[in-house]
């Protein structure tokens, strides 16, 4: 595993993921412990631990992809809104020290919690196939 980093291994294809979007800058895939249907991570392929040690050009490119993926998820899933979450450091809840953004679709009238539960792998696979672009 490159740099002992889980997300580097996922972006390198060493660990499987439920891919939603990929280009030369990022890989976007479903979170396996989703907070809501369609909870997607957008991860830059270049390693950096967090927001403060990511160069401006990479950060701008990643944020542009976050917006692109969020718009796609909103269109395909029909969610009523979404949260964008980005944690920095263990005290802020970051569990993988590789810059990443969470896109969390929100649905009016549905209960919500930031405590994700282990997703059903078959359902996640089917969802990824439905929303991939």
pLDDT value at position 82?
97
Q: How far is residue 117 from each of residues 1, 54, 86, measured CA to CA in Å?
A: 26, 30, 19
Mean pLDDT of 35-44: 97
Q: How far is residue 54 from each of residues 9, 78, 88, 89, measured CA to CA in Å?
A: 19, 32, 12, 14
C-beta of residue 73 within 8 angstroms of C-beta of residue 105:
yes
Residue 72 is part of a domain; what is its CATH number?
3.30.428.10
Catalytic residue among 72, 98, 100, 102: 100
Mean pLDDT of 113-128: 86
Instruction: Calculate the average pLDDT of the chain.
Output: 94
Q: What is the DSSP string of 26-69?
A: EEEEE-SS-SSTT-EEEEESS--SSGGGS-HHHHHHHHHHHHHH
- Tally of domains within the chain: 1
Whether pTM exceeds 0.75: yes
pLDDT above 70 as % of the chain: 98
pLDDT value at position 12?
95
Q: How far is residue 122 from each of residues 71, 75, 126, measured CA to CA in Å?
A: 25, 23, 6
In the 8-state DSSP scheme, what is residue 118? P
Comparing CA positions, the residue from 60, 63, 26 lying closest to residue 43 is: 26
Token digits for 40?
Answer: 């997607």
pLDDT value at position 101?
98
pLDDT value at position 117?
77
Bridge partners, 44 (sequence order): 26
Q: CA Rg, the chain, in Å?
A: 14
Q: Which domain holds residue 16?
A: 2-131
Residue 98 annotated to the active site: no
């Amino acid at each position: 595993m490159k740099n002992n980093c889980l997300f580097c291994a996922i972006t390198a294809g060493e660990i499987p993921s439920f891919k939603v979007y990929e280009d030369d800058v990022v890989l976007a895939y479903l979170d396996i412990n989703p907070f809501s249907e369609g909870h997607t991570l957008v991860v830059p392929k270049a390693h950096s631990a967090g927001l403060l040690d990511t160069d401006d050009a990479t950060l701008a490119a990643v944020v542009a992809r976050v917006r692109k993926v969020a718009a796609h998820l909103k269109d395909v899933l029909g969610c009523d809104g979404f949260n964008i979450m980005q944690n920095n450091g263990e005290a802020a809840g970051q569990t993988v020290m590789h810059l990443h953004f969470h896109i969390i679709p929100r649905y009016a009238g549905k209960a919500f919690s930031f405590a994700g539960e282990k997703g059903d792998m078959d359902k996640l696979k089917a969802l990824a196939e439905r929303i991939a672009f």
